[in-house]
Every structure is written in C-alpha cells, then in structure tokens.
C-alpha cells in the first residue's frame, strides 16, 4: 500500500477534520456510480478501494492501533550532512523502510562518534517504530548539537505537530542533556530498542 497520507493528498500535520473532508471529497469524485463506461467504472472501483484503505489506515495510525510505517516515503535525504558513508547507508535503509538494518548500522557507530546526525537518524528509526517520545528526545539532542541544521529542526517541529494533533496537548522537550550520554540517551537505547549488541 502507498503512503495513506499521500493517497488522500494530506500531510501528517493535517487535522482529523481536514483529513475526513479530503476523504469525502475524493470519495465523491471517484465513486463508481458516476461512471457509465465499464473500464472507467472498474478504475474508479480500484481507486475507491485505495482511498478507503488509506482512510482506515490513517484512522488506525491516529488512534495508536497501527504504526506509521510509511513516514519514510518522502521525507529523508539520502545524503549525509556530515559526509559520513555510514549515515548515507542508514538513510538509504530508512527510505527503503528497512528499519532493522538502519538500526544495525547505527549501533556500529562508537559512542564517542555519535554526533548530531547520529541522533537525528536514531530519532527517525524510533519514530518509524512508533516510539514518538524517545524519537522526540533524540531530535532535541540533534538540534542542540547542530542548531543551524534545517533538516533536524524540521523533523523536530513535524514530530511536535504530530504529537499535539494526536494527544491534543503539548510536547515536552528535554534540553538539559550535556555532550556526555545522559538519561535521554539511555531511554533511547535501553528501552527494548537496542539491536545488534549492547549500545548503552
């Protein structure tokens, strides 16, 4: 299935009401009863199946009954901002929805080499697994270490908007981490998310 948000022509920041409006508009435009030609009617039926499936999937994602496995469809550059080949490989894995492989490469980076880009990419993999809180903490650390990086800031703001939309509340940041590994990192890596050996 394609990214359900793309199917409905909305973004992950779109409100529930506006998603419903987009769904209803597409359903009206593509209803099979509007078409008399058998070929066009068949195409409309297939399109309606996709539209209905997309709307149902978004409802599941928003209610927490499903993970957003489609997030990497269009959001991530495959070029490392630091020129590190490991991070380029991780980005390729993310864009191909190979979260486990991306996490495996992340785990190979020594702790003393884990800079802003590492935290950003770890945040992306956590987010793709549905671990929104820890993803946000990792994005916060990435932005602290490289505050001028637009990619990191955009990811953090996007996640904050999603969190607010889902919970109807506020997003709490944790910006008291120093350059040493703090509780935020331990949460990110010790809460059943480590793969490929110890990473704490």
- CATH code for the domain of 21: 1.10.287.110
Is residue 196 one of the residues assigned to a domain?
no
CA angle 97, 49, 28 (to 5 degrees): 120
Q: What is the pLDDT of residue 54?
A: 92
Phi, psi of 80 (to 5 degrees): -65, 135
Cα–Cα distance between 133 and 139 in angstroms, integer? 10
Give the pLDDT confidence of 65-93 residue by residue, as tens digits. 776 666 544 445 666 667 788 998 998 88
Is residue 117 one of the residues assigned to a domain?
yes
Q: What is the pLDDT of residue 199?
A: 34
Residues 129, 177: one domain? yes
As for how many domains the chain has, the answer is: 2
Q: What is the DSSP string of 88-135?
A: HHHHHHHHTT-HHHHHHHHHHS-GGG--HHHHHHHHHHHHHTT-HHHH
- Where in the sequence is the domain holding 90, given as residue range(s)? 71-190
Domain boundary among 43, 63, 83: 63
Give the pLDDT confidence of 97-113 residue by residue, as tens digits. 788 999 999 999 999 99
Domain boundary among 28, 46, 63: 63
Is residue 195 one of the residues assigned to a domain?
no
113-123 burial: b if 16+ Cβ within 10 Å, else e:
ebbbbbbbbbb
Q: What is the sign, positive or negative, of the torsion defined by CA atoms of 154, 160, 163, 167?
A: negative
End-to-end CA distance of the chain: 36
Is residue 197 one of the residues assigned to a domain?
no
Indicate the average pLDDT of the chain. 77
Domain boundary among 19, 39, 63: 63
What is the percentage of the chain residues whose pLDDT exceeds 70? 72
Q: What is the pLDDT of residue 128?
A: 82
Give the pLDDT confidence of 113-167 residue by residue, as tens digits. 999 999 999 999 998 887 888 999 999 999 999 999 888 988 888 888 766 655 5
Residues 108, 175: one domain? yes
Which one is predicted more confidently, 178 or 33?
A: 33
Is residue 14 one of the residues assigned to a domain?
yes
Residues 185, 86: one domain? yes
Three-class SS state of 175? coil
Neighbours of 163 (CB within 10 A): 18
Residues 84, 173: one domain? yes
Residues 78, 57: one domain? no
- H or E stretch covering 8: helix 4-8
| Averaged pLDDT, 23-36 | 93
Is residue 155 one of the residues assigned to a domain?
yes
Residues 8, 52: one domain? yes
Helix, strand, coil fractions of the chain, as percent rounded to 5: 65, 0, 35
State pTM to two decimals: 0.49
Residues 31, 97: one domain? no
Closest CA to 51 of 26, 78, 32, 68: 26
């Amino acid at each position: 299935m394609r990214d359900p948000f793309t199917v409905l022509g909305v973004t992950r920041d779109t409100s529930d009401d506006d998603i419903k409006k987009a769904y209803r508009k597409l359903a009206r435009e593509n209803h099979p009863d509007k078409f008399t030609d058998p070929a066009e009617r068949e195409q409309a039926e297939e399109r309606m199946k996709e539209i209905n499936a997309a709307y149902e999937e978004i409802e599941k994602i928003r209610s927490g009954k499903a993970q957003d496995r489609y997030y990497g469809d269009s959001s991530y550059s495959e070029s490392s901002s630091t020129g590190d080949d490991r991070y380029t490989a991780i980005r390729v894995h993310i864009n191909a929805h190979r979260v486990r492989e991306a996490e495996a490469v992340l785990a190979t980076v020594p702790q003393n080499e884990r800079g802003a880009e590492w935290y950003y990419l770890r945040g992306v993999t956590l987010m793709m697994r549905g671990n929104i809180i820890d993803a946000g903490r990792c994005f916060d650390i990435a932005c602290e270490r490289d505050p001028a990086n637009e990619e990191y800031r955009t990811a953090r703001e996007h996640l904050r908007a999603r969190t607010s939309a889902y919970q109807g509340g506020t997003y709490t940041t944790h910006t008291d981490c120093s350059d040493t590994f703090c509780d935020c990192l331990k949460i990110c890596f010790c809460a059943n998310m480590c793969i490929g050996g110890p990473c704490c």
